[in-house]
Chain A
Amino acid sequence: MNQLVGHTPAKAVRYKNLPTSQNICLDTNLRHYAVFEDGQVEIRSYDDLMGATTAK
């Protein structure tokens, strides 16, 4: 079983990979968020999103 959580803020997303689980803490004061699709978690950046949409 893997776990995805918030709660503990830091500047970067944190990963703790163990033999039987992946664990991700996503809380960076909303500088990052995640997309889950087809069984895969992808971490994305607010700054990248806003830069991409502003540039369009």
Chain B
Amino acid sequence: MRWLILPDAHDKILRANQIIERESHDHLLLLGDFFDDFRTGVTDAADTARQVKRWLNAPNTTCLLGNHDMSYGWGRQNRRLICPGYDAAKWITINGNLTNRDWQKFKLYAWLEGGERPWLVTHAGLHPCWLEGTEPGRYREFIDKLCADAWDSLNRGEHHFLLGRASAAPVIRRSAGSTGLTGMNWFPFPA
């Protein structure tokens, strides 16, 4: 199985499709943040939304949910999910193309198997502190359950620490401290 993995597109749909058309693959995995290039507007958002809808409904394609996507899919139920770059006019055009059924096809994570260790693929990463107290052999089971809980909370309009920004994330692990801890759609890659 050959996976093609594309990071944040942010409205660069032409470039994404150039890669997809030229690089052979069995499965396409898109890491989220399809929307909100700060130099683009409503027309670009509409083009992106139409393409994202095709990807969400295509076979052998997985779309992960980025914070800028969550902003348009769930930001009106939970204002804490709204990102810089959010625009009400874009919301209208994006949600004119993507239905609730489409939004439900996003995934929070994917596993890639086959090497010495499995690869967890998410939009922004899972801080190791969330895994404290879990045996490495049970990481997968733990993460599957954690993400299922986060997804349910998202759809109920409730906050979940795994999808929150630093200021909203409760300290559930002692070593995590009280600052700089974010969920897996916001976590900045360490410098």
Contacts and interface: CB of A to CB of B under 8 A. Distances in A.
Interface of A: 1-9, 14, 16, 20-23, 25-30, 32-41, 44, 46, 49-50, 53
Nearest to A26: B7
Q: Classify chain B's interface size.
A: 35 or more
Given A14-B189, A35-B23, A49-B22, A1 B120 contact: yes
Contact of A38 (B7, B15, B114, B136): B114
Interface string B152-191: 0000000000000000000000000000000001111110
A5 B125 contact: yes
Interface of B: 1-10, 12, 15-16, 18-19, 22-23, 25, 31-33, 66-67, 112-126, 136, 139-140, 185-190
17 contacts: A1-B117, A1-B136, A3-B122, A6-B32, A7-B31, A7-B124, A7-B188, A8-B188, A23-B189, A27-B189, A33-B4, A35-B2, A35-B3, A35-B5, A41-B112, A41-B119, A50-B18
B19 A7 contact: no
A11 to B, nearest CB: 13
Contacts of A6: 7-8, 31-33, 66, 123-124
A9 B33 CA distance: 11
B68 to A, nearest CB: 9
Given A3-B125, A22-B117, 5 more contacts: A3-B122, A6-B7, A23-B189, A25-B125, A33-B6
Contacts of A26: 5, 7, 31
Contacts of A50: 18, 22
Contacts of B67: 7
A5 B19 contact: no
- Residue of B5, B10, B15, B22 contacting most chain A CB atoms (<10 Å): B5
